[in-house]
């Protein structure tokens, strides 16, 4: 039985979340709190398996309560966030302070119908609660002032085809995972990187800006027609699918669409990987990181058929071992790696 503490100053939100979650026989509502101070008391008193935490509340806000809880009585915390740019910045800050994920406060704005929302939310609560508090990531310093030491050249066998593009897919737990992998890549990284991270609109822009501050490489939210260049990292915009395509037979660009028919998630990892398989046959590295569900598996199968290589994050270092598990179970992963190993293995592959 998963015991949940719901923290929100809105009686409507407390009731809505309680009704959704308690509909599952494996979930029990341990209690509720109306502000951060009450949340701290209830976490210590009730010892829930997981907490949903509103951001803006009287007396003490959600970020302050989160910091206190993670320092004194650690428990998995899911932030309840507004789908605004300001809400994105606050949510990203919460993820850095130990929150495991977030759900939208604007429930009516979701493209998913209410039944689908309940299914996703219940599954997320159960998986995150059972995984427990994730370990904290110690990030490398942002943009060192001193010149980096040149990496040793990678020795290759005669005839080995070089990787021309790295494509990464991730979902729940992805922001933390990417903040460990990407800042570890060297300034002279020789190929482009494209990333599909499940995030709503207004979130991917601030997330790309934050990564850009941490990385030696340029990171930005992708836009229609962006040209892939060595060392450039493009993040698929929330609410749209990013694909790679050839332009005039020479340049490779990205296209952005809002195809709602064929994919549950936007951006879709499957859509990105399938396009990578088409335009970089035998020259792509696909990396699948932590996330719920199996988005990315079909696209990775296409990538594998064309001779691409595939890395999957291992279960021990995942927040949720769903998307990598699907790839591993399909038998297409060339390497299964801890999050600490992935950056080095990517560098060795390009």
Can you tell me which residue has the tokens 């959704």?
Answer: 20
| 123 in active site | no
| Rounded-to-integer distance, Cα 189 and Cα 155, Å | 16
Q: Which of 81, 171, 268, 317 is catalytic?
A: 171
Residue 141 corresponds to which tokens in the numbers above? 């310093």
Can you tell me which residue has the tokens 């109306």?
Answer: 34
Residue 301 corresponds to which tokens in the numbers above? 């199968």
Q: Nearest Cα to 85, choosing from 195, 231, 220, 238?
A: 238
| 171 in active site | yes
Q: Which of 32, 198, 268, 270 is catalytic?
A: 198
| Rounded-to-integer distance, Cα 48 and Cα 42, Å | 9
Residue 245 corresponds to which tokens in the numbers above? 């395509």
Can you tell me which residue has the tokens 């929302």?
Answer: 117
Question: How deeply is 222 buried, as exposed, middle or buried, from its count of CB atoms within 10 A (0-12, 13-18, 19+)?
Answer: buried
| 241 in active site | no
SS3 241: strand
Q: Nearest Cα to 263, choosing from 112, 117, 125?
A: 112
Sheet containing 27-33: give its strands across: 27-33, 2-7, 50-54, 77-81, 101-104
| Rounded-to-integer distance, Cα 156 and Cα 287, Å | 21
List for the chain the helix, strand, coil content (%; round to 5): 35, 20, 40
* Active-site residue list: 171, 198, 295
């Amino acid at each position: 039985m998963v015991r949940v503490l719901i923290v929100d100053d809105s009686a409507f939100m407390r009731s809505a979340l309680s009704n959704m979650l308690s509909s599952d026989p494996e979930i029990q509502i341990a209690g509720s709190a109306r502000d951060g101070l009450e949340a701290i008391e209830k976490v210590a008193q009730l010892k829930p398996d997981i907490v949903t935490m509103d951001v803006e509340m009287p007396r003490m806000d959600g970020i302050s309560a989160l910091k206190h809880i993670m320092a004194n009585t650690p428990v998995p915390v899911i932030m309840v966030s507004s789908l605004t740019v300001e809400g994105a910045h606050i949510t990203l800050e919460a993820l850095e302070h130990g929150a495991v994920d977030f759900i939208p406060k604007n429930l009516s704005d979701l493209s998913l119908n209410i039944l689908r929302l309940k299914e996703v939310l219940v599954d997320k609560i159960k998986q995150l609660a059972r995984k427990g508090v994730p370990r904290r990531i110690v990030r490398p310093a942002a943009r060192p002032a001193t010149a980096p030491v040149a990496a040793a050249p990678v020795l290759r066998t005669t005839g080995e085809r070089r990787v021309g593009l790295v494509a990464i897919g991730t979902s729940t737990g992805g922001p933390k995972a990417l903040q460990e992998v990407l800042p570890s890549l060297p300034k002279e990284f020789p190929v482009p990187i494209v990333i599909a991270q499940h995030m709503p609109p207004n979130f991917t822009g601030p997330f790309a800006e934050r990564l850009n501050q941490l990385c030696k490489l340029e990171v930005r939210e992708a836009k229609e027609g962006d040209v892939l260049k060595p060392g450039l990292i493009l993040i698929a915009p929330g609410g749209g699918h990013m694909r790679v395509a050839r332009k005039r037979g020479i340049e490779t660009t990205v296209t952005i669409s809002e195809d709602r028919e064929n994919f549950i998630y936007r951006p879709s990892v499957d859509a990105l990987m399938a396009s990578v398989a088409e335009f970089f046959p035998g020259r792509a590295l696909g990396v699948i990181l932590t996330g719920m569900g199996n988005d990315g598996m079909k696209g990775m199968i296409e990538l594998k058929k064309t001779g691409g290589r595939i890395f999957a994050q291992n279960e021990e270092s995942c927040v949720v071992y769903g998307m990598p598990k699907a790839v591993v179970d399909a038998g297409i992963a060339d390497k299964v790696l801890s999050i600490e190993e992935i950056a080095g293995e990517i560098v060795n592959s390009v």
